[in-house]
Structure 1
Amino acid sequence: MPLRSSRRPRVHPAWWVAAVAFLALLGAAGFRAAPGALMVPLHDEFGWSMSVMSLAVSLNLVLFGLVAPFAAALMDRFGMRQVISVALVLVALGAGGSVLMTASWQLLVFWGLLIGSGTGAMALVLAATIANRWFVKRRGLVMGILTAGSATGQLIILPPVAALADTVGWRPASLLIAGAALIAVPLVRLVIRDYPEQRGVVPYGADPESYVAPARAVGGAVARAIEGLRFAARHRAFWALAIAFAICGATTNGLIGIHFIPSAHDHGMAATTAAGLLAVVGIFDIAGTIASGWLTDRFDPRKLLVGYYAFRGVGLLMLPWLLSDRVHPSMILFVVIYGLDWVATVPPTAALCREIFGERGTIVFGWVFASHQIGAAAAAFGAGVIRDAFGAYTYAWWGGAAICVIAAVLSILVSRTRKDARGVTEDQRLAQAARSE
């Protein structure tokens, strides 16, 4: 029966839920990116190589992605509040426990296993879940705003972490991360709800007279995540989106997010200055991602992706000539362009997953996001090996530029949905067939 509310709140509760989700995503991105600001001081204190530290960061990135589709299913089963709260505690344990490290293998436990798993449970599948459950209108815009939380995490967390690591030590910086994660738990418990009807409202933009709450997901979380992958793997569009998004991860989190500070340090730039430049990337990413969400509501997402990957490739191609011991106008231009483009790919990619895969769209996006992080992990480790082998990151930047061309081509090849005479898309027909099996 239709869901109705006896009174209409001045501000729809969907916006409050989105605001707290923004903060959770902000923290997840900042906590996950923080190791990039700690690599230099750890190398100075322990003498650990970039390859060894990059391996731990790669595990962090892989788990950040692989946990995502299971987190989406766990949110369906146990609720968003429970999953996010446990994730924040895992981050606090990883960051706080890292101050006790004495051997490089312990990086795999604290940076890799705990922080990777915790931040992965708050990855962009949370943004997709909020947008799909709480909004009918403005989904693209909301997805853009929530995705911008990832950029804001760098903006707020990386500079103080880098400054603390440089002036006081990396251990206080790690404790700052742990404390910030724990502080967020009560706010999540207070505001986040799983569905609009738990607040006595319909999703934002839905008609209260005709809206009917969709059926709840059933089945085990692991089984639903695996089933979603099996279903998606039968579509060529999934593989095109997954490979392109893996390249997105490689050229953002894997290369720039992890290795920009060490590379700038190689050219004589202070680590705090380089961290500040990454923060500027975060500032412009907020504008770029929100604008991308707005554009996704109005234009073909495939064409947007082609443009985003093309601009990114040009930036990486030019980067070896832009790095120096000082901040100059050309570097500022790179930071602005790369910032606008940083995760602008997320709203159109999530929209394509929702359009193509329907009710499975969130879990499928989780698997696409997993490929994003696998690409990031491969690039993070590969760039560290290149740095140790050649003494510079030049070939890593050029390799990133080359694969951006591949991502642009794959994006335009993603098939658009087609409807038959009954108005049923091919993907809906396949979904109906899968349910009847």
Structure 2
Amino acid sequence: MTETQARRSEARGARRIHPAWIVALVALIALIGAAGFRAAPGVLMMPLHEEFRWTMAEISFAVTVNLLLYGLVAPFAAALMQRFGIRLVTVIALMVISAGSALTVFVSSPWQLLLTWGLLIGAGTGSMALVFAATIVDTWFVRRRGLVSGVLTAGSATGQLVFLPVMAVAADEHGWRVASLIIAAGAFAVVPLVLIFLRDRPSDLGVARFGEAENTAPAPRSSMGAAALALSALRHAAHTRTFWALAAGFAICGATTNGLVGTHFIPSAHDHGMPQTTAAGLLAVVGIFDIVGTVFSGWLTDRVNPRILLAVYYSLRGVGLAFLPALLSAEVQPSIVVFVVIYGLDWVATVPPTIALCREAFGDRGPLVFGWVFAAHQVGAAIAAVLAGVVRDQTGHYTVAWFAAAGLCAVAAVVSISIRKRTPDALTRAS
């Protein structure tokens, strides 16, 4: 054993916590810091509507562009992370989110909202999307992948939990501009932690991935450009039924979470006479139970067929949405609390099994392919966000949107359970 190897072995023996867990913790904090805007539209739509008299469709269009970029940027961000490192891409993304949120206070017309909410924040949050969690898991872990992906996915829910009530109170008492600045500060505050503690690869610290043999050679960085790398993964995946099944199911997932409930639950509750701060509090409760549900889903994903998990999750979500129009009222009733708890447990519980299926079907390309599957998620969210706004403008309520979403969930359940299981030979070819 060489002197260098001896020192590394001694350091590993003295180290009680694998660096992968420290990286995962910093990634979790980064996801929380980047999650502020995920809760912003629901809180800020009514104040913007009341101050500028913009229609809900006009405001929803900015949200739609944001949701589209949030998804479409993701696969390219994953490729950039593989090409240039996780830390650099994460820092730039947080800075863009912070800048976009801060500049929002100067908007006075819908096109300016489109620039800040849509383009800047959409690109920034897209680079910090769930594909970031998938990249961290794939780069740093061999064991406990389901659990870690569940915890990191819950980071977005935690961000919603942290920011949503604060933004609702700030917008109600100090105006929506203060709420926008809170988002900017939250994203910017995470940058120093990322610079100090986040590392690109285990080999940077002289260790293997968690659960991997110490003598395993690290995978080389790809010399292919980020765009070419992302598009190559898409071309490969697009020839399989599994990809399209995952993309279809996740598009419905996005439509029924970020696009519909995340964007329009508060305005819908407000239509029934519920104060905005009360409705925001209910969404915060969704965030609390989302943490529990997603972590538990990650634990289950290590033990249960992910196809079954997805079918169950989508079915439960559809039942909840079908009942929601009858549950909304001016006051918080026990029935709406039950809905919030169940929907919270189910909110992004779909992510760990979806990541697992991408890894099973596409091997080392899994994170990149998940980036494209997540892009479908955000396309679904964007379409739902704008269509629900149109439904509200045309009918005066959201009832049709809730029932349509419930039907889509039934479709997602059937599609998910029908995904074929890959054989070991197919998995080898996919890698």
User: Which amino acid letter does the alignment assign opposite residue 283 of structure 1?
Assistant: I
* 1:147 alignment partner in structure 2: 153
Cα distance in structure 1, aligned partners of 2:210 and 2:158: 25
Cα distance in structure 2, aligned partners of 1:428 and 1:97: 48
Cα distance in structure 2, aligned partners of 1:64 and 1:188: 21
* 2:77 alignment partner in structure 1: 71
Q: Report matched runs for 1:344-355 at 5 Å.
A: 344-355=349-360
User: Which amino acid letter does the alignment assign opposite residue 39 of structure 1?
Assistant: M
Distance of aligned partners of 1:167 and 1:71 in 2 relative to their CA distance in 1, 3 Å threshold:
same
Q: Which deviates further from its counterpart, 1-10 or 147-156?
A: 1-10
User: Which amino acid letter does the alignment assign opposite residue 365 of structure 1?
Assistant: F
* 1:161 alignment partner in structure 2: 167
Aligned partner of 1:120 among 116, 126, 136: 126
User: Which amino acid letter does the alignment assign opposite residue 242 of structure 1?
Assistant: A
TM-superposition CA deviations, 1:25-79 (whole Å, max 9, x none): 1222222331221001111110111000000000000000000000000001111
Task: Please report how far the alpha carbon of residue 135 of structure 1 lies from its aligned counterpart in structure 2 after TM superposition.
Answer: 0.9
Cα distance in structure 2, aligned partners of 1:248 and 1:158: 21
TM-superposition CA deviations, 1:398-422 (whole Å, max 9, x none): 0000000110011011110123xxx
Matched, 1:308 2:313: yes
* 1:406 alignment partner in structure 2: 411
Cα distance in structure 2, aligned partners of 1:111 and 1:269: 26
- The alignment covers a number of residue pairs equal to 425
Matched, 1:91 2:97: yes
User: Which amino acid letter does the alignment assign opposite residue 117 of structure 2?
Assistant: W
Instruction: Name segments (4+ residues, structure 1) moved above 6 Å.
Output: none
Q: Do 1:32 and 1:60's aligned partners in 2 also have CA atoms closer than 8 Å?
A: no
TM-score of the pair, normalised by structure 1: 0.95
Aligned partner of 1:49 among 43, 46, 55: 55
Task: Please report how far the alpha carbon of residue 430 of structure 1 lies from its aligned counterpart in structure 2 after TM superposition.
Answer: 5.6
Q: Do 1:5 and 1:201's aligned partners in 2 also have CA atoms closer than 8 Å?
A: no
Task: Please report how far the alpha carbon of residue 316 of structure 1 lies from its aligned counterpart in structure 2 after TM superposition.
Answer: 0.2
Q: Report matched runs for 1:92-241 at 5 Å.
A: 92-208=98-214, 210-241=215-246
* 2:323 alignment partner in structure 1: 318
Q: Report matched runs for 1:326-337 at 5 Å.
A: 326-337=331-342
User: Which amino acid letter does the alignment assign opposite residue 304 of structure 2?
Assistant: F
Is there any run of 5+ residues in structure 1 with no aligned partner, and where? 420-424, 432-437
TM-superposition CA deviations, 1:164-192 (whole Å, max 9, x none): 01111001111111111111111110111
TM-score of the pair, normalised by structure 2: 0.97
Cα distance in structure 1, aligned partners of 2:314 and 2:354: 12
Cα distance in structure 1, aligned partners of 2:47 and 2:103: 17
Cα distance in structure 1, aligned partners of 2:289 and 2:346: 9
Is there any run of 5+ residues in structure 2 with no aligned partner, and where? none
Task: Please report how far the alpha carbon of residue 197 of structure 1 lies from its aligned counterpart in structure 2 after TM superposition.
Answer: 1.6
TM-superposition CA deviations, 1:95-149 (whole Å, max 9, x none): 1111111111111100000001000000011111111111111010000000000
Cα distance in structure 1, aligned partners of 2:401 and 2:34: 26
* 1:6 alignment partner in structure 2: 10
User: Which amino acid letter does the alignment assign opposite residue 320 of structure 1?
Assistant: P
Task: Please report how far the alpha carbon of residue 295 of structure 1 lies from its aligned counterpart in structure 2 after TM superposition.
Answer: 0.4
* 2:428 alignment partner in structure 1: 428
